[in-house]
Structure 1
Amino acid sequence: MSHKESASKHVFFIYGSDEFVVKKRAREVFDQWLNDVKGIDHEIIDGFCKDTSEALLAINKLKQAILTPSLFGLEKIVWLKDCNFFGIDRTGESKTVNEALAELSDLLVKTDLTGIRLLVTASNVAKTRTIVKTLERIANVEVLDSWTSADKDWKQKASAWAYEQIRQAGKQIDDDALELLVERAGVSMRTLSLEIEKLILYLADKNFIAIKDVESVVSRTHNVEAFALGEALGERDLSKALNALQDVLWGLKTDTQKSEIGVLFGLISKIRCLLLAKALIKSGQISQTRNYKKFSEEAESALIKIFPPDTSINLLPQSLYPLFKATNQADNYKLEELIKAMETLLDVNIALVTSSADPSFLLQKALISIIQD
């Protein structure tokens, strides 16, 4: 067995822009290793360095730890923790640090790491750096980047990640509960992770997470009210829509970055999605299904042939998920009702900009008109 093959089983390189999840995952690996080797011989090296001298000290400590055999004749655990000099910054790009990292890279490649479990964690990483390329060759690499709302597939990624975390905890979750969990947690992986932990503790000996469990335990972020408003509009449920609107408007009082115009644009986006779904269903380009994975596979292959890649003229929403929801709600409205709804919302837009009418009243009136029409 080559040194690389031998090392790769017990060499981990975990990095990414989501520092919380990087640290959480690293701690899981480290604790598992402590349990495996009974935690007799281990060394944690602080890689969070303020300047060049601290970075050089950390590198030298790591080299010594790799070259020094275990005093007890057992496997040795070494963790370079929270390393911040693998990126492009003043410390990482200094000549002396670069030279030291080049020596470390050479050592990792040439040294038989049998008997050593090496864990390296970092946040700011430049993939062009030699040390990063070396670790990616010899290690098990896990990249844990934050999701962003600009990523059209963030809900899919968040759902897949949450499902795996729940599975590893020995629990199961139904599709509706998973959907609500992701919606309530929002785009933050840290928030989602904490909410999953709360759910696991809440369940105790129960193995199955139902939607009522999520409703009872998981906190509501500011995105949830807007999602609930869109869903109530799609389901054509006036009572729920008016209640959700009040929640959204109340949230505007504490969030200066949002306004009634933003709420209106959310309603317009929902009606637009319903119109698009209805047209695509009628043309046979997509079908109605409750299985999101099946829908996304079908939709992506079909829609790429229809719509241009230029997002400035592409009618598709950033994510397929709103379209997926709309396909199962499109039957709640006739085509002419949706067209009239767009006209109603256009009138509200003009009134919000040009008149002194109460925005809350205008939005409530619009919902009543659309849903009761």
Structure 2
Amino acid sequence: MSEADVPSLRLHTVLGDDDYLVRKKAQEIFDRLLPEYPEEFQREIIGGHAGRVDEVKTVVDKFRQAAQTLSLFGDGKLIWLRDVDFLADSPTGRAEGTLAEVERLQGYVEKLGTSGIQVVLSASPVDRRRKFSKWLEKTDHFTEAATKKDRGAALRRVVDETCEECGVTIGPDAFQLLVGLINGNTRLAVEEIRKLATFIGAEGGIIDEKLVTELVPPFGEGDFFEAAEAFSSFDLAWTLDALTRHFFHWKEARPLLASMQGRNRLMIQLRVLLDAGEISLGARGISKADLEKAAAQHADCFGESDEKNGFNVFTQNPWYLGRLALGAKKPPKLRNLIDIQTDLFRTFEEIIARPDDHEGVMKDLAVRCLS
């Protein structure tokens, strides 16, 4: 089949990096097509998850059987190949056996032509360098669930919709805090909003920063958020309380200490830029334009990579930097932040010397640095 024939396919494809947004958009398309296939036997959903090559083959075989099994009355069929994950840049996705099965899947899809079958294919994540992925993007009914540019707005829409369903609201600062804690994961955002709404109660109310901090744990790369946030805010009472809560669940201090070092490292860079007048801190945080201008000015030291790097302040989220900058401005001098960084290094030695009293070591650190 030539590329010119691709638009004739009755194929609806949804691709994206966020599995929740991909599933949500594909569900909308599937629901829109359902009236054309009113009978239960005209609809079939096939799970596309595969952790091994033999499982990929099983999925492709199921799709082939579904596409070849039509109603006796010739009324057509709607197939949803859902949550396909073997198109990713993963060990399974890169395996030769998988690539062969994907080529076989493409062949079956091409043969649909103008038959009575319509197919919804949803996949996340996807390696866009692959032949099949590029082919899918050329089809008439291709949908991008959310690009990197609008993913933040898509997440905000999902959160607002969930809040409306639950009868609660969430403020902009609480939303940004939630996003940071869950690493921008849309599925987790929905579940955490539902949990917070349940805590608030049936009467509804507002989800604020305090509630998010208390009830939402950090996911993904652990930041041990509350204790690190309290320390970088130079709030001694909050830090001591947060450390008590931290060590109720965790006995090891080194990951928390590493998180504090990472934050303070960024705060030192921010303080230098603030003192030099290269960036300014306003009600909305740090200006993105200021950051971009400063990044260009210091490109010879930091390079031009946009990849997030804990040693490079210019690769961080401006809203996150705005929160850190509030703490960075509190010490009288830049030297205070440098001394804190030195104290953080020395605390590692104290942890080794006092292996059974990590909580005491960290609280001593807080008193020394924040008093």
Is this a same-fold pair by TM over 0.5?
yes
Percentage of matched positions with identical amino acids: 20
The CA deviation at 1:119 is: 0.9
Residue number in structure 2 paired with 1:62:
67
The CA deviation at 1:244 is: 0.9
Whether 1:181 aligns to 2:178 is yes
Partner SS for 1:14: strand
Query: Structure 2 vs 1, CA of residues 359 and 129 (structure 1 numbering), >3 Å: closer, same or farther?
Result: closer
Query: Structure 2 vs 1, CA of residues 52 and 347 (structure 1 numbering), >3 Å: closer, same or farther?
Result: closer
1:106-185 aligned within 5 A: 106-107=110-111, 111-112=113-114, 117-123=118-124, 125-138=126-139, 139-142=141-144, 160-169=153-162, 171=164, 173-185=170-182
Aligned letter for 1:77?
L
Partner SS for 1:77: strand
Inter-partner Cα distance in structure 1 for 2:136 and 2:178:
35
The CA deviation at 1:157 is: 8.2
Query: Structure 2 vs 1, CA of residues 82 and 59 (structure 1 numbering), >3 Å: closer, same or farther?
Result: farther
Residue number in structure 2 paired with 1:93:
99
Q: How many residue pairs were aligned?
A: 343
Residue number in structure 1 paired with 2:339:
340
Query: Structure 2 vs 1, CA of residues 68 and 98 (structure 1 numbering), >3 Å: closer, same or farther?
Result: farther
Query: Structure 2 vs 1, CA of residues 260 and 20 (structure 1 numbering), >3 Å: closer, same or farther?
Result: same
Residue number in structure 2 paired with 1:103:
107
Aligned letter for 1:62?
A
Query: Structure 2 vs 1, CA of residues 163 and 230 (structure 1 numbering), >3 Å: closer, same or farther?
Result: same
Inter-partner Cα distance in structure 1 for 2:357 and 2:31:
58
1:247-266 aligned within 5 A: 247-253=245-251, 259-266=252-259
Inter-partner Cα distance in structure 1 for 2:238 and 2:210:
21
Determine if contact 1:55/1:85 at 8 Å carries over to the other structure.
Answer: no
> C-alpha deviations, 1:52-86, integer Å up to 9, x for none?
47624523533666x999639xxx63322344665
The CA deviation at 1:213 is: 9.1
Partner SS for 1:78: strand
> C-alpha deviations, 1:231-285, integer Å up to 9, x for none?
22233221101011122223323xxxxx322222222233322222221012122
Inter-partner Cα distance in structure 2 for 1:135 and 1:93:
15
> C-alpha deviations, 1:292-341, integer Å up to 9, x for none?
5x633431342243142288995437523542212222232111332332
Residue number in structure 2 paired with 1:26:
26
Determine if contact 1:59/1:104 at 8 Å carries over to the other structure.
Answer: yes
Residue number in structure 2 paired with 1:211:
208
Inter-partner Cα distance in structure 1 for 2:325 and 2:296:
18
Aligned letter for 2:363?
Q
> C-alpha deviations, 1:19-71, integer Å up to 9, x for none?
5664454334423443x658447421525473647624523533666x99963
Partner SS for 2:105: helix
Partner SS for 1:332: coil
Determine if contact 2:19/2:124 at 8 Å carries over to the other structure.
Answer: yes
TM-score (normalizing by structure 1) = 0.71
Residue number in structure 2 paired with 1:352:
351
Residue number in structure 2 paired with 1:256:
none
Aligned letter for 2:231?
L
Partner SS for 2:14: strand
The CA deviation at 1:210 is: 3.5
Residue number in structure 1 paired with 2:51:
none
Inter-partner Cα distance in structure 1 for 2:355 and 2:214:
41
The structure 2 residue matched to 1:190, chosen from 187, 190, 194, is 187
Inter-partner Cα distance in structure 2 for 1:310 and 1:216:
34
Query: Structure 2 vs 1, CA of residues 63 and 303 (structure 1 numbering), >3 Å: closer, same or farther?
Result: farther
Query: Structure 2 vs 1, CA of residues 52 and 371 (structure 1 numbering), >3 Å: closer, same or farther?
Result: closer
Query: Structure 2 vs 1, CA of residues 61 and 98 (structure 1 numbering), >3 Å: closer, same or farther?
Result: same
Determine if contact 1:158/1:182 at 8 Å carries over to the other structure.
Answer: no
Query: Structure 2 vs 1, CA of residues 248 and 270 (structure 1 numbering), >3 Å: closer, same or farther?
Result: same
Query: Structure 2 vs 1, CA of residues 135 and 143 (structure 1 numbering), >3 Å: closer, same or farther?
Result: same
The structure 1 residue matched to 2:303, chosen from 304, 309, 320, is 309
Aligned letter for 1:352?
I
> C-alpha deviations, 1:168-193, integer Å up to 9, x for none?
45746321120232244346443223
Residue number in structure 1 paired with 2:90:
none
Residue number in structure 2 paired with 1:12:
12
Determine if contact 2:218/2:225 at 8 Å carries over to the other structure.
Answer: no
Residue number in structure 1 paired with 2:267:
274
Which segments of 5 or more consecutive residues in structure 1 lack a partner in the other structure?
A: 146-152, 254-258
Determine if contact 1:45/1:62 at 8 Å carries over to the other structure.
Answer: no
Determine if contact 1:199/1:218 at 8 Å carries over to the other structure.
Answer: yes
> C-alpha deviations, 1:154-209, integer Å up to 9, x for none?
xx987544312034457463211202322443464432232234456768786x85
Aligned letter for 1:360?
E
The CA deviation at 1:367 is: 0.9
